[in-house]
Chain A
């Protein structure tokens, strides 16, 4: 996964998005434009007819994509947090790959992991809670 290219492209296209762990979600037209050069297609469904446009994006709450720069998941909402606006309220800005990027804060990430409830999400919670308790948000 080339996080740098993905995040730089989204930032440079002025896309409003929040990184959730290693997932991202954002507004439609700019997002379509930002990811088009990387040829998004449905992951694991190479033979399925697929058009990468605003309509596809608007009609999907979850899109799991394979792109030329790696796997990207787009989420309209996050379990445990709610809509994109709710997610933004739980976000924090950091500087990475020479851009300013919004990502979930620690309490929000813990809430989302707990709500997801999968083994791989639950097993990381003690580590995240330790970071939170050590004073780092």
Chain B
């Protein structure tokens, strides 16, 4: 099974270039036109997989807390 490792500086630079200056006709350009904020993807790619997992957990727990507050107020 393949492993998902952190990006090398070269891989990150290439991905950033493509995401911030997408080639015409590419899927990345289509995503930007669709409304995707590609800078957020760059921000994610700068993190290691472990850091992304922790960020996901923090975001999910924040949403859970907001839901809890909302339920108590209803």
Contacts and interface: CB of A to CB of B under 8 A. Distances in A.
Interface of A: 1-4, 70, 88, 91-97, 102-103, 105, 126-127, 129-137
Contacts of B61: 1-2
Interface of B: 1-4, 7, 11, 14-15, 18-19, 22, 26-28, 30-31, 34, 36, 38, 41, 45, 49-50, 52-54, 56-57, 60-61, 64
A136 B2 contact: no
Given A130-B36, A134-B14, 15 more contacts: A1-B60, A92-B1, A92-B2, A95-B49, A96-B50, A96-B52, A102-B1, A103-B4, A105-B2, A126-B27, A127-B36, A129-B30, A130-B27, A135-B14, A135-B15
B36 A126 contact: yes
Nearest to B7: A136
A3 B38 CA distance: 26
Contacts of A126: 27, 30-31, 34, 36
Contact of A127 (B2, B7, B15, B31): B31
Contacts of A131: 41, 45
Contacts of A70: 60, 64
25 contacts: A1-B61, A3-B60, A70-B60, A92-B1, A93-B2, A93-B3, A95-B50, A96-B49, A97-B50, A103-B4, A126-B27, A126-B36, A130-B28, A131-B41, A132-B27, A133-B18, A133-B27, A134-B14, A134-B19, A134-B28, A135-B11, A135-B14, A136-B7, A137-B2, A137-B4
A49 to B, nearest CB: 26
